[in-house]
Amino acid sequence: MNIKAVLSDNIIDFDTKPRDACGVFGIVAPGEDVSRVTFFGLYALQHRGQESCGIATFKDKTVSLHKDIGLVSQVFDEKVLSKLKGDIAVGHTRYSTTGATNIQNAQPILVQFEDQKLVIAHNGNLVNATELRNFLIEKGYKFESATDTEVMAKLVAFELSCSKELKIAVEDAFKRCKGAFSVVIATSDYLIAVRDPGGVRPLCLGTTSRGQYVVASESCALDIIGADYVREIAPGEVLLINKEQKLVSNLSSLSFAPHHCIFELIYFSRPDSTFRGLSIYHYRKELGRQLAIESPALADYVITVPDSGTPAAIGYAEELKLPYTEALIKNRYVGRTFIQPSEMLRELGIRLKLNPLKDIIAGKKIVVVDDSIVRGHTSRKIVKLLKDSGAKEVHMRLSSPPIKWPCFYGIDIDSRDQLIAAKKDSVKEITKFIGADTLEYLSHDGMIKATGLSRNFFCTACFSGEYPIKIPKELEGAKFRYEKYAKVVSR
Ligand code: AMP
């Protein structure tokens, strides 16, 4: 898991960090223990959201739903899972990108209309949710949560109420949606997967050893249940799967214009998940190699900020033929549910999470490779930790360019005033802030080159300010609220 909760000066910084995207999972498998399979799928997707989680099952027309605040291992136990019976299941791990942390906003969301029910789980963020919500309120729909996911669910209900068949209703509902959406929906008879035309967030299709279909945010969730990867859900695809495992798909129901989030490759996705046939680990290592070509450093050791910086650090070290070593040992059990430390423990700062190997660090020139700097708080503490452990020099290297722009497609970075690279005028100033001897970022061109794919294939908005899906003015206002930092956005 990539829980990046760290200590700020006074409090645990769990809630001020930018938030990760969510994880979704769905299975249609009559006769199988679908809730248990979903439980394991969610376990593999825990890194995509640690705030709340839930599973809903359909047995004929009866829905069982259990969701709560907490990690998958805290929310579900034998007793709960045994009550979630059905042929189709949908699950979700959530990190809030829209709406506050409360149980109403946990997913999956259940919507009932006339004699029908559906459950929906979503990863991403709609940019026109307010407009759609107002449209539905005018039509008489009431809302129980603050999420764009409920908007999507009620849009489907609305289209169905216009006497459309399910597939058409789902297509028409999602044609109205703008933004990032990787969605799984269950009805009494179908598992449905929908992905926005940009394919911003990941979504893939797999089959179990018994030939039953599974849909998941990342391929690591297929591996954990022994399912085979079949293919990506295509950008713009609406896919319906019935209980006889028959697929009904129109690959371009919603049009097709891929803009995959490049930050999934850099940080979000698990290294053992795949993207276009290669592991995320592979891409991260290539990013590290490219970084080494662009910004070599003379050092005794290359070290990583575990775990997300590790493949890039290994790639960096291999490229420069420098020794790679671990020097910061991570306590894997520090997470969101961590108990607030006392005043005395607070002073220990980041050491609650990372403990340095002083005998390796002392007197040495160290290159520390991390995947990204967002606000600079963690990086600053890491540099201090290394210096306090006796490092002679600390050279920070980042396997991504400076993050200067907020994300409107599924990551909660509130406004530009939180991003150190937007606040400071130069890399020199950031270097000073984090206290490193040198600091270098990967170039934008180098990042694209390392993927081996074309620039047009990705959304790089957090680095470039070029937003492939138009952002409505009112949303821009909220996130660019500190005009001081706002620069012209080229589209
Ligand atoms: P900071 O120095 O405070 O900006 O933190 C940098 C660390 O945050 C790096 O180790 C990144 O792996 C990590 N990071 C990057 N993006 C995110 C995110 N969306 N949520 C949490 N941590 C992140």
- Any ligand 1 atom below 6 A from CB of 341: no
- Any ligand 1 atom below 6 A from CB of 376: yes
Q: What is the mean pLDDT of residues 157-174?
A: 95
* pLDDT for position 8: 30
Residue 183 has pLDDT above 60, yes or no: yes
Measured between alpha carbons, how far is 21 from 411 in angstroms, rounded to an integer? 6
CA-nearest residue, atom 15 of ligand 1: 372
| pLDDT (tens digit per residue) in 123-150 | 999 999 999 999 999 999 999 888 899 9
- Any ligand 1 atom below 6 A from CB of 301: no
- Any ligand 1 atom below 6 A from CB of 435: no
Atom of ligand 1 nearest to the CA of 375: 4
330 alpha carbon, distance to own chain's centre: 21
Query: Which amino acid is residue 123, in one-letter code?
Result: N
CA-nearest residue, atom 22 of ligand 1: 4
Q: Exposed, middle or buried, 406 (CB in 10 Å: 0-12/13-18/19+)? A: buried
For 280-453, give the CATH class.
Answer: alpha beta
Measured between alpha carbons, how far is 444 from 422 in angstroms, rounded to an integer? 16
- Any ligand 1 atom below 6 A from CB of 284: no
* pLDDT for position 435: 98
Atom of ligand 1 nearest to the CA of 370: 10
Q: Exposed, middle or buried, 467 (CB in 10 Å: 0-12/13-18/19+)? A: buried
Q: What is the mean pLDDT of residues 364-373?
A: 97
Evaluate whether 62 touches 22 at the Cβ level (below 8 Å).
no
For a ligand 1 pocket test, name from 267, 270, 397, 462 the mutation site with the most ligand atoms within 8 angstroms of its C-beta: 267
For a ligand 1 pocket test, name from 8, 12, 15, 17 the mutation site with the most ligand atoms within 8 angstroms of its C-beta: 17
Atom of ligand 1 nearest to the CA of 379: 2
> 368's torsion region: left (phi>0), alpha (psi -120 to 50) or beta?
beta
The pTM for the full model equals 0.91
* pLDDT for position 13: 35
* pLDDT for position 46: 95
| pLDDT (tens digit per residue) in 372-414 | 999 898 899 999 999 999 999 999 999 999 999 999 998 866 5
| pLDDT (tens digit per residue) in 287-312 | 999 999 999 999 999 999 999 999 99
Q: Which of 444, 420, 442 is nearest to 432 (CA)?
A: 420
> Is residue 205 very low, low, confident or very high in pLDDT (cuts 50, 70, 90)?
very high
* pLDDT for position 487: 35
* pLDDT for position 92: 98
CA-nearest residue, atom 9 of ligand 1: 372
Tell how far the Cα of 115 is from the centroid of ligand 1, in angstroms. Answer: 46
Instruction: Return residue ranges of the chain for CATH 3.40.50.2020.
Output: 280-453
- Any ligand 1 atom below 6 A from CB of 287: no
> 363's torsion region: left (phi>0), alpha (psi -120 to 50) or beta?
left
Tell how far the Cα of 49 is from the centroid of ligand 1, in angstroms. Answer: 14
CA-nearest residue, atom 17 of ligand 1: 18
| pLDDT (tens digit per residue) in 456-472 | 999 999 999 999 999 88
* pLDDT for position 115: 85
Tell how far the Cα of 374 is from the centroid of ligand 1, in angstroms. Answer: 5
110's CB contacts (< 8 A; 6+ apart) are: 56, 63, 65, 117, 118, 119
* Peptide bond just before 108 cis, omega within 30 deg: yes
* pLDDT for position 191: 98
Q: Which of 145, 149, 68, 65 is nearest to 100 (CA)?
A: 145
Q: What is the mean pLDDT of residues 55-73?
A: 96
Tell how far the Cα of 383 is from the centroid of ligand 1, in angstroms. Answer: 15
Evaluate whether 109 touches 185 at the Cβ level (below 8 Å).
no
Evaluate whether 374 touches 18 at the Cβ level (below 8 Å).
yes
Q: What is the mean pLDDT of residues 25-40?
A: 98
Beta strand pairing call for 354-356 and 328-330: antiparallel
Q: Is 22 a catalytic residue?
A: yes
Q: What is the mean pLDDT of residues 100-105?
A: 73
Residue 66 has pLDDT above 80, yes or no: yes
- Any ligand 1 atom below 6 A from CB of 4: yes
For a ligand 1 pocket test, name from 374, 383, 419 the mutation site with the most ligand atoms within 8 angstroms of its C-beta: 374
* pLDDT for position 64: 98
Evaluate whether 453 touches 260 at the Cβ level (below 8 Å).
no
Residue 327 has pLDDT above 60, yes or no: yes
Instruction: Return residue ranges of the chain for CATH 3.60.20.10.
Output: 3-259+480-485
Tell how far the Cα of 2 is from the centroid of ligand 1, in angstroms. Answer: 9
CA-nearest residue, atom 18 of ligand 1: 18
Tell how far the Cα of 4 is from the centroid of ligand 1, in angstroms. Answer: 6
> Is residue 484 very low, low, confident or very high in pLDDT (cuts 50, 70, 90)?
very low
Measured between alpha carbons, how far is 66 from 185 in angstroms, rounded to an integer? 16
CATH 3.60.20.10 fits 3-259+480-485, yes or no: yes
Tell how far the Cα of 109 is from the centroid of ligand 1, in angstroms. Answer: 29
* pLDDT for position 416: 83
Tell how far the Cα of 309 is from the centroid of ligand 1, in angstroms. Answer: 10
Tell how far the Cα of 53 is from the centroid of ligand 1, in angstroms. Answer: 22
Q: Among residues 22, 53, 407, 462, which one is catalytic?
A: 22
* pLDDT for position 352: 75
* pLDDT for position 420: 94
Q: What is the mean pLDDT of residues 309-337?
A: 90
pLDDT > 70: what percent of the chain?
Answer: 88
Measured between alpha carbons, how far is 117 from 187 in angstroms, rounded to an integer? 6
- Any ligand 1 atom below 6 A from CB of 371: yes
- Any ligand 1 atom below 6 A from CB of 84: no
- Any ligand 1 atom below 6 A from CB of 373: yes
CA dihedral 291, 295, 300, 305 (to 10 degrees): -40
